[in-house]
Amino acid sequence: MILNTLSLVNYKNFESQVFEFDSKINCFVGANGIGKTNALDAIYHLAFGKSYFNPIALQNIKHGTEFFVVDGNFLKNERIEKIIVSLKRGQKKIIKRNGKAYDKFSDHIGFIPLVIISPADRDLIIEGSDTRRKFIDSVISQSDKAYLTAVIAYNKVLSQRNALLKYFALNTTFNADTLAVYNDQLNDFGQTIFKKRDEFLKVFIPIFKERYEAISQSNEAIDLKYKSDLFNGELISLLENNLNKDKALQYTSVGIHKDDLTFLIDDFPIKKFGSQ
């Protein structure tokens, strides 16, 4: 996969700009504030259909304008692939591949494999578990469409189950049959997601430790620990056992949406004891 050209119109601080790239290494050099990071974010936008740094889509439109367009020409499998991401105020974002718009943005994920490294990555350690789950999901989804589909479906059902729990509380009612439908769906999607996360991390963690050891020259031992409620049993049983708690809280207290990664350095949590 090679990015040949990148064209920006009204994207962040760019009014109109075209970049042409070498097939190997490319560097952006310049003074602070001229848009180096924005150019990199535009490439991320082409891969994921959204900004890495600013998830609010409208805020990526240049001030005083009504739309943005990010256009990239890639060479993949000896074929030119043209990807366009555009957004106009008051309308929905559009992602096109070779002139044809995607019906679902999720269908595009993984077509352009991409990794971005930035100072914001320290959020993986200092922020909440949601940030770390999104990292895992982002990596796995680029090579596994079924996983991404399961994550989207799980989150949709989870939202519906939480809404039902709130409805029960507000109306002083309860319907076990209706709740059981959501429990079954969460269990099916959740077990799939848990299995694939566990399999991925069993491969990823040894590589992570090996790379860190090379960088640190073995001066300290680091580790990653995958935490999930599903290590304690199948999700369907966990949901049933925590029903009274969920009814009191009015949201689902167990499941793969609570999964987390713990970063350790010499067996101490990096979040509390590691340097910036």
pLDDT tens for residues 45-54? 999 999 999 8
Say yes or no: 50 and 133 in one domain. no
Q: Which domain holds residue 269?
A: 120-273
Predicted pLDDT at 273: 80
Residue 211 lies in a domain: yes
Residue 42 lies in a domain: yes
Q: Say how far apart CA 276 and CA 265 lie, in whole Å.
A: 13
Say yes or no: 231 and 94 in one domain. no
Q: Which tokens is 21 given?
A: 């790239």
Mean pLDDT of the 194-223 span: 91
Say yes or no: 257 and 127 in one domain. yes
CATH number for 65? 3.40.50.300
Say yes or no: 49 and 170 in one domain. no
Say yes or no: 126 and 103 in one domain. no
Q: What is the pTM of this model?
A: 0.83
Predicted pLDDT at 215: 87
Confidence of residue 108 (pLDDT cuts 50, 70, 90): very high
Say yes or no: 228 and 258 in one domain. yes
Say yes or no: 83 and 133 in one domain. no
Exposure letters 225-243 (e unless 16+ CB within 10 A, then b)? ebebbbeeeebbebbeebe
Name the domain count of the chain: 2
* Chain segment 16-49, per-residue pLDDT in tens: 999 999 999 999 999 999 999 999 999 999 999 9
Report residue 8: phi and psi, to 5°. Answer: -125, 135
Say yes or no: 161 and 94 in one domain. no
Angle ∠(174,179,184) on CA atoms, nearest 5:
165
